[in-house]
Amino acid sequence: MAALSVFALVLLLACGGPRAAGQKRKEMVLSEKVSQLMEWTSKRSVIRMNGDKFRRLVKAPPRNYSVIVMFTALQPHRQCVVCKQADEEYQILANSWRYSSAFTNKIFFAMVDFDEGSDVFQMLNMNSAPTFINFPAKGKPKRGDTYELQVRGFAAEQLARWVADRTDVNIRVIRPPNYAGPLMLGLLLAVIGGLVYLRGSNLDFLYNKTGWAFAALCFVLAMTSGQMWNHIRGPPYAHKNPHTGQVSYIHGSSQAQFVAETHIVLLFNGGVTLGMVLLHEAATSDMDVGKRKIMCIAGIGLVVFFFSWLLSVFRSKYHGYPYSFLMS
């Protein structure tokens, strides 16, 4: 019996020894990786990675932390305006986490530039930038771990909501102070105050219906073109295909839009509105018949062409819409 006990003990040590040693090596490797990431994060909130760093710290196990990676192309010769805009918001998000009192080693923010890690783009079969992907602590990225940039925009607040959804880490976005708004408001108040001071004896201009109508019209056109959506979502101005170089100003989905698209829609709505104003003036003004006919023809032309363009934009976003006018 004593011999059997000794044999069992030796067998247990022989089997458990390599396993324990392997576990210890994993813990050491993991500790080294976390220490390295923490050191880099202390110097820069967004860690720049090349192919080797990405494979070693993001792809290779062991890993008990999540890594949010922005794949981008920031070099000037790439001419990726959207990449620069998205990078600014990404930096704000990463800085908000880095200087937060809740900061831990549970999540890190990294970046792979195409010119520094093209092999990573090839490995992931990635053909567009910028792209945000969450590499979770366990397992491979799922469909929801790729951020829907075209739908949600790249505002830091939107990115923070997505990060919270994928990692359960809530980041309170803190933006650097922006004095542009208060300065513009102060300038507007100064202009209004100057006008009231200079024309204090004659304030009839405040009762000018045309002026107020024009101001109201500008506000309506801005709101109906989607400017508030841009302010909330922070979409890119346009999208440039990195392979063909083709720039898209109209988003192909009804769930998103580009900033340039709102400007185009504002222009088209303004054209239709101007046409309606000309038609109204042609019907009610006291000018001679010849001028009224010219105004009428110009008004009809503006309404027809700009409404046709608006309808074509609508058709390009709502696929399957059956109606068109002049333009398909």
* Residue closest to 146 by CA, chosen among 123, 122, 169, 129: 129
Cβ atoms 268, 310 nearer than 8 A: yes
Q: Poorest-confidence range of 4-18, 136-150, 167-181?
A: 4-18
3-state class of 112 per DSSP? strand
Specify the amino acid at residue 101. Answer: S
* Alpha carbon distances (Å) from 133 to 143, 145, 168, 299, 323: 10, 6, 15, 50, 39
pLDDT range class, residue 164, cuts 50, 70, 90: very high
Joined tokens for residue 206: 């405040």
- Percent of the chain past pLDDT 90, that is, above it, reads 30
Rounded CA separation 139/300 (Å)? 62
Q: Over 90: is that where the pLDDT of 243 sits?
A: no
If 0-12 CB within 10 Å is exposed, 13-18 middle and 19+ buried, where does residue 273 land?
middle
Question: What's the N-to-C CA distance of the chain in angstroms?
Answer: 92
pLDDT range class, residue 17, cuts 50, 70, 90: low
Rounded CA separation 132/160 (Å)? 12
Q: Over 80: is that where the pLDDT of 277 sits?
A: yes
Phi, psi of 288 (to 5 degrees): -70, 165
Q: Which pLDDT value is given to residue 12?
A: 45
The whole-number average pLDDT for the span 99-119 is 92
